[in-house]
């Protein structure tokens, strides 16, 4: 057919550009809707499929008709409503097929090919049905080659490539996916537009159509309507998808935050907040797991119990924040000595436990304990006086349950403390017997307090110059029904460890005040009676009030009472001790600093403590041999220092006449010791008060009581 027999075709550049833009926008919407359908919940998938098919189909259809409207022919172009609606329906069907396939978890080859063919047929059908919607006097003539090419473009690029890209983009990270999606949208839009304009190139309009004016919708009005609606529809779609995506991201972030919070909560429930070590809960699980492994494999493992020495004193001096920092450093140091698979746990304020696999004997236990001690010393070098005591026990030799194993390691640690601290001791079976004996002692002590079997003896004190009676130290004894009189060094440490020391000291204070009252009522000139206070009692802010209550209840003036505290107690609990001692001073109760010379940095604190008396430790007095010895020089310096601070000096532990002579020569104020008398019952001390008017000679004039 001659070229002159067909109408000359031309295109409006603006509408062509618009059609390509709509095609690309539709392509982007298609990929975006694929994301929405895939990400939607099962209940929302159907909604997104229906809405997506409607919107995406309308977008593709609008691109086609905008492209048709871009065509300029020397005739009035109109469109029949029926075929036009059918072409729209075909676009919606193609879109539904594409979105339906995109919901699959994977795209199999046969599904991909079948879906691509269905989409290509639907898109091509939409195009050629839309062409048929133009009522004309003659039929449009199509060139087969161009028709085939348009169908190939619809299949390869418009359908197969679209499905492939929708699946490929799922695995990309979000930022890369957006970039790739824009490129894919441009490719898909170009493919859809290419299919359309290839189909238009295949169409030839006979010249006989020029004057045809059949029915249908006017093309110019339809151009404005479709262009506007398509842009609004696609824009709304993208906006809705963006809002849904934003909500999805927020939900995902919220879910992630909740998951992180749950993970953190789970982690916190198994770890110590301060040190990040395992806590008791995780320790119990690790111990059970270690025992199961050892039982299956026939192997052993070791548990180490670590307690810091001097930590309470550090807390009292430097505060809890400094103490927490030390604990964190200690934890880090111990963790650095462990192997992978070992567990380091914090089980108390300054107590730790280590579960170490493959430590089957005492030799390896000592080696690991030494490394732990070295790590603790290294991490606490800025905290002088702080060390650690370690005990260890092996499974199953020393305990076949978690409780028994930890108890055995705890017993060994206790023995390490008794051996001088800053060391490590392995568990031995005899330790259990000793622990049982102490537990029995503590139980009996409670009964003894209730039965009034705890009695007070009094060791006299004399002035050094005149050897006159100047006071007495109240010393507690336990009158045991089977063992006889038990000295305090056997049961007071047990009372301190068990928490019975407070009840014991209250009993002693009440006994002493009641005895002073009886002596006063009997007409005795009672000297000051000193009572020993433990570390915990000095730090008790309520102690002065209880002392005053005891004095008042027995009607005893405060001048008859004196307290003795050890130098170590005063220094370790410096801040709390000063406050308590100041209250005693206001009450009129004097305080002596006992065991002077055995503590740390005592001279720097001495003037700050509100005390009235120093007691030189018996270790210095016992070493006196002549007036020129080193011990004599130390005692002389202590006496001079005390007198310069207006403090009286008491020498305790005087047992020989040579020691007495040096004490007098060194100008000590008071003295006590076996040379004069051991601690005696209250009735025997009354004899000293009766004889107080005459001098007591060291040759034996004063009665001795055992």
DSSP string, 115-173: HHHHHHHHHHHHHHHHHHTS--SSPPEE-HHHHHHHHHHIIIIIIIHHHHHHHHGGGS-
C-alpha–C-alpha distance, residues 463 and 330, integer Å: 50
Residue 702 banded pLDDT, cuts 50, 70, 90: very low
Residue 186, pLDDT above cutoff 80:
no
Domain layout of the chain by residue ranges: 10-247, 280-427, 440-695
Residue 696, pLDDT above cutoff 50:
no
Stretch 590-595: mean pLDDT = 86
CB-based contacts of 330, cutoff 8 Å, min separation 6: 275, 308, 352, 376, 379, 380, 388
Angle at which helices 320-337 and 362-379 cross, to 10°: 140
C-alpha–C-alpha distance, residues 401 and 460, integer Å: 53
C-alpha–C-alpha distance, residues 39 and 384, integer Å: 62
Residue 159 banded pLDDT, cuts 50, 70, 90: low
Residue 285, pLDDT above cutoff 80:
yes
The Cα-based distances of 143 to 136, 156, 181, 203, 467 in angstroms read: 18, 20, 35, 7, 141
Residue 302 banded pLDDT, cuts 50, 70, 90: very high
User: Are 303 and 363 spatial neighbours (Cβ–Cβ below 8 Å)?
Assistant: no
User: Are 45 and 60 spatial neighbours (Cβ–Cβ below 8 Å)?
Assistant: no
Ramachandran class of 673: left when φ > 0, alpha when ψ lies in -120 to 50, beta otherwise:
left
At residue 575, the pLDDT reads 56
Q: In a 3-state reduction of DSSP, which class is residue 391?
A: strand
CB-based contacts of 213, cutoff 8 Å, min separation 6: 76
Pairing of strands 590-596, 561-566: parallel
The Cα-based distances of 507 to 477, 502, 511 in angstroms read: 12, 9, 6
At residue 409, the pLDDT reads 93
CATH hierarchy code of domain 440-695: 3.20.20.450
C-alpha–C-alpha distance, residues 631 and 620, integer Å: 6
Stretch 41-67: mean pLDDT = 70
Residue 522 banded pLDDT, cuts 50, 70, 90: very high
User: Are 664 and 631 spatial neighbours (Cβ–Cβ below 8 Å)?
Assistant: no
- DSSP lists the bridge partners of residue 309 as 387
- What is the b/e burial string over 30-69, where b = at least 16 CB atoms within 10 angstroms of the residue's CB? bbbbbbbbbebeeeebeebbebbbbbbbbbbbbbbbbbbb
Mean pLDDT, the chain, integer:
78
Query: 């746990």: which residue's tokens?
Result: 345
The sign of the CA dihedral 218, 222, 225, 227 is negative
Determine which of 2-16, 346-360, 414-428 has the lowest per-residue pLDDT on average: 2-16
Query: Kindly report the CA angle at 359 between 357 and 362, in degrees rounded to 5?
Result: 155
Q: Which of 198, 325, 363, 315 is nearest to 573 (CA)?
A: 315
Query: 């370790």: which residue's tokens?
Result: 572
Residue 306 banded pLDDT, cuts 50, 70, 90: very high
User: Are 304 and 391 spatial neighbours (Cβ–Cβ below 8 Å)?
Assistant: yes
C-alpha–C-alpha distance, residues 307 and 417, integer Å: 9
Name the token pair of 76. 């009035």
Q: Which of 103, 100, 18 is nearest to 59 (CA)?
A: 18
C-alpha–C-alpha distance, residues 469 and 691, integer Å: 9
Name the token pair of 586. 């206001």
Residue 177 banded pLDDT, cuts 50, 70, 90: low
Alpha-carbon dihedral 139, 7, 131, 166, rounded to 10 degrees:
140
At residue 212, the pLDDT reads 47
Residue 392, pLDDT above cutoff 60:
yes
Residue 529 banded pLDDT, cuts 50, 70, 90: very high
Say what the pTM is: 0.51
At residue 136, the pLDDT reads 67
DSSP 206: B
DSSP 487: P
The Cα-based distances of 60 to 21, 54, 95, 122, 213 in angstroms read: 11, 10, 9, 11, 28
**Terminal CA-to-CA distance of the chain, rounded, Å?**
147
Percent of the chain with pLDDT over 70: 75
C-alpha–C-alpha distance, residues 543 and 233, integer Å: 84
| Choices 3.40.50.2000, 3.90.870.10, 3.30.70.270, 3.30.300.30: CATH for 280-427 | 3.30.70.270
């Amino acid at each position: 057919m001659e070229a002159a027999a067909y109408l000359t075709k031309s295109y409006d550049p603006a509408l062509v550009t618009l059609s390509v833009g709509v095609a690309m926008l539709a392509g982007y919407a298609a990929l975006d809707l694929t994301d929405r359908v895939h990400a939607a919940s099962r209940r929302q998938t159907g909604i997104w499929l229906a809405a997506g098919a409607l919107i995406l189909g309308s977008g593709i259809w609008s691109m086609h008709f905008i492209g048709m409207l871009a065509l300029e022919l020397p005739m009035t172009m109109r469109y029949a409503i029926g075929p036009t609606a059918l072409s729209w329906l075909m676009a919606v069907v193609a879109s539904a097929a594409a979105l339906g396939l995109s919901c699959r978890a994977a795209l199999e080859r046969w599904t991909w090919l079948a879906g691509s063919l269905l989409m290509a047929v639907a898109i091509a059908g939409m195009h050629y049905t839309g062409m048929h919607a133009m009522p004309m006097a003659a039929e449009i003539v199509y060139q087969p080659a161009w028709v085939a090419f348009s169908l190939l473009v619809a299949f390869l690029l418009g359908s197969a490539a679209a499905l492939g890209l929708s699946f490929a983009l799922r695995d990309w990270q979000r930022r890369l996916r957006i970039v790739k999606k824009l490129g894919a949208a441009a490719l898909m839009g170009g493919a859809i537009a290419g299919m359309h304009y290839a189909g238009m190139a295949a169409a030839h309009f006979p010249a006989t159509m020029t004057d045809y004016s059949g029915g249908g919708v006017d093309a110019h009005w339809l151009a404005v309507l479709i262009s506007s609606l398509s842009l609004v529809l696609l824009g709304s779609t993208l906006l809705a998808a963006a809002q849904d995506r934003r909500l999805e991201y927020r939900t995902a972030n919220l879910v992630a935050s909740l998951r992180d919070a749950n993970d953190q909560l789970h982690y916190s429930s198994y770890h110590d907040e301060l040190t990040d070590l395992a806590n008791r809960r995780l320790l119990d699980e690790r111990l059970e797991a270690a025992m199961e492994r050892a039982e299956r494999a026939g192997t052993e493992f070791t548990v180490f119990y670590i307690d810091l020495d001097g930590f309470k004193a550090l807390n009292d001096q430097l505060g809890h924040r400094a103490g927490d920092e030390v604990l964190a450093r200690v934890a880090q140091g111990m963790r650095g000595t462990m192997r992978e698979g070992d567990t380091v746990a914090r089980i108390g304020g300054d107590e730790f436990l280590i579960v170490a696999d493959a430590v089957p004997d005492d030799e390896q236990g000592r080696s690991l304990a030494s490394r732990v001690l070295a790590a603790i010393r290294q991490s606490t070098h800025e905290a002088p006086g702080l060390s650690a005591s370690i005990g260890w026990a092996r499974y199953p030799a020393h305990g076949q349950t978690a409780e028994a194993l930890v108890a055995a390691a705890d017993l060994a640690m206790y023995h390490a403390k008794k051996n001088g601290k800053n060391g490590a001791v392995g568990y031995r079976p005899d330790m259990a017997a000793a622990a049982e004996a102490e537990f029995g002692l503590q139980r009996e002590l409670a009964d003894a307090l209730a039965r009034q079997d705890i009695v007070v003896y009094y060791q006299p004190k004399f002035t050094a110059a005149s050897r006159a009676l100047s006071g007495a130290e109240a010393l507690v004894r336990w009158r045991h029904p089977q063992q006889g009189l038990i000295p305090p060094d056997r049961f007071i440490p047990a009372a301190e460890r068990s928490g019975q020391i407070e009840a014991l000291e209250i009993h002693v204070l009440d006994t002493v005040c009641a005895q002073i009252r009886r002596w006063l009522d009997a007409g005795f000139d009672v000297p000051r009676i000193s009572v020993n206070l433990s570390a915990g009692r000095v730090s008790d802010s309520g102690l002065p009030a209880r002392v005053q209550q005891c004095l008042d209840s027995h009607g005893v003036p405060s001048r008859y009472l004196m307290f003795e505290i050890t130098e170590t107690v005063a220094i370790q609990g410096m801040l709390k001790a000063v406050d308590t001692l100041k209250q005693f001073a206001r009450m009129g109760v004097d305080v002596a600093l006992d065991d002077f010379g055995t503590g740390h940095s005592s001279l720097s604190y001495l003037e700050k403590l509100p005390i009235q008396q120093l007691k030189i430790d018996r270790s210095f007095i016992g070493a006196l041999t002549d007036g020129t010895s080193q011990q004599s020089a130390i005692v002389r310096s202590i006496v001079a220092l005390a007198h310069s601070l207006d403090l009286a000096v008491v020498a305790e532990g005087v047992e020989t006449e040579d020691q007495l002579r040096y004490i007098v020569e060194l100008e000590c104020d008071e003295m006590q010791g076996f040379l004069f008398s051991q601690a005696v019952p209250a009735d025997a001390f009354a004899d000293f008060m009766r004889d107080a008017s005459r001098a007591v000679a060291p040759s034996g004039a004063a009665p001795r009581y055992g």
